[in-house]
Amino acid sequence: MTEKPVVLVTGGSRGIGAAICRSAARAGWLVVVNYATNAAAAEAVVADIVNAGGEAIAVVGDVAQPGDIEAMFATIDSTYGRLDGLVNNAGIVGSPQRIDEMDFARIDRMLRVNVTGSILCAGEAVRRMSKSRGGNGGVIVNISSMAALLGSAGQYVDYAAAKGAIDTFTIGLAREVAIEGIRVNAVRPGVIDTEIHASGGLPTRARDMAPSIPMQRPGEAQEVADAVLYLLSPSASYVTGAILNVSGGR
Ligand code: NAP
């Protein structure tokens, strides 16, 4: 078993996840960088971490596929023999659509990646972390969104509903496993300057939204990562079931 605490960051290859991976490595975590398709981006994050004196590996896996999740956790077991942290960060938006334009395939994919994947990963993590199952405890951070509170009307109400589910899941799971030495919290980013907006067909969304944000600017991925690192850290030892807005006042 490795000496360092091990954290899995889903969707760790780009955007907010990549910033979380780099920050976690600086804080002394051994980082498992999950990605779905873009191996080069994941390997670039690993290289950055290793070049800075940290430890990391990249692990492929679509969090919407139960078999991929099982394989990912099996790799962590065989490589490191421990898991201390999970950041459920992998997430997708869709192109802006009203509800009357959405089809089953879109909604199904939205919920599978953003909700089912996070719940399945949390289950695998709890099986390894729970003190009642012989583990040493641990910490889970879920990445929600301010969309959970605002609803994303006219853009992606399915995404907002998925993030609402993440909020509720965070509260319930925190209470369920608190006595087993596992803390569970969430961060709700506001509008953050990453490639997710381009993936939804709105490449300038972060900039365009600036006037509607009380701080008059989109956030940086690092500003979300800083909040996640706090929740991962012993400084948050009495914090569980909390959902922290990182949204510039939005
Ligand atoms: P991003 O720049 O689009 O990066 C998404 C990351 O998730 C990539 O590493 C991608 O890997 C991975 N990913 C996507 N689908 C996956 C899947 N099925 N299985 C595993 N990994 C998958 O997104 P981001 O802006 O950093 O968003 C990260 C999280 O923050 C998401 O949960 C998002 O909903 C949330 N959030 C973002 C904002 C914002 O304004 N950016 C606001 C609120 C909440 P590949 O490149 O390999 O596909």
What CATH number did the domain enclosing 169 receive? Answer: 3.40.50.720
Q: How many domains does the chain have?
A: 1
Q: What's the domain range around 87?
A: 6-246
238 labelled catalytic: no
pLDDT digits (tens, 9 = 90+) for 99-138: 999 999 999 999 999 999 999 999 999 999 999 999 999 9
- Domain contains 1: no
Residues 139 and 85 sit within 8 Å (Cβ to Cβ): yes
Q: Answer yes or no: is the C-beta of 191 below 6 A from any ligand 1 atom.
A: yes
Considering the entire predicted model, what is its pTM?
0.99
Question: What residues form DSSP beta bridges with 32?
Answer: 8, 57
Q: How confident is the model at residue 2 (pLDDT cuts 50, 70, 90)?
A: confident
**pLDDT at residue 1, rounded to an integer:** 81
**Cα(131) to centroid of ligand 1, in Å?**
31
Is-contact 162 187, C-beta < 8 A?
Answer: no
pLDDT 10s digits, 157-178: 999 999 999 999 999 999 999 9
- Cα–ligand 1 centroid distance for 28 (angstroms): 23
The answer as to whether 150 is a domain residue is yes
